[in-house]
Copies of this chain bind each other. A is one copy, B any other.
Amino acid sequence: MGIAYDGRDFHGWAAQPESMGLRTVQGEMQRVLGHLFGQQVEIQCAGRTDAGVHARGQVAHMDVTVWPEDVDAGRINRALPDDVRVTSIERTSMDFDARFGAIWRRYTYRVNDDPRGPDPLRRHLVLAHHKSLDIAAMNEAARALLGEHDFAPFCKQREFASTIRTLQRLEWARDDDGAAVMTVQADAFCHSMVRALVGVML
């Protein structure tokens, strides 16, 4: 299942205990799908994004024995709030696992360094930065981070969790609107690693 969402009003992907009252993408998806399927469902995604992170191509899966004929992306989306939607649905083999089967995750991070500030219509998609950025210098710095390393300094530590990751791609470029865009791809990311990578390079 392909999923897109506007992360602004979500406290990240992972469903929280109801008592917390926090809105999450997984929580909304499970609520709507559970209703349409008439039974509780569990949905797993490839990369559990943090609060405020948007998605265009989040991949998730769900193990179900029967898929009701009248449930398609259109019907699910009409039941979902408009800041999250299903972009595609595909039947696959039961051993497919969006989380443990993913061989890479890719994120982009946009930074506006135009002294006039970001385009008002795109301001929630970019970080406003007041110093002009040197794309070539940042790409130079990025090269040193490629490959397999212990990214502990870039991660919010979680006990017993490995912080060794393989960075497959890390590069900066300008988009059509002039924003500096970091594209980063790794076998997996640890908590808040993308933000930390951006942070050290700015």
Contacts and interface: CB of A to CB of B under 8 A. Distances in A.
Interface of A: 4-6, 54, 56, 73-74, 77-78, 82-87, 115-121, 123, 125, 128
B74 A87 contact: no
A77 B117 contact: yes
B120 A4 contact: yes
A12 to B, nearest CB: 15
A85 B125 contact: no
A119 B83 CA distance: 8
A73 B116 contact: yes
Contacts of A6: 120-121, 123
A56 B120 CA distance: 9
B4 A123 contact: no
B83 A123 contact: yes
A119 B86 CA distance: 10
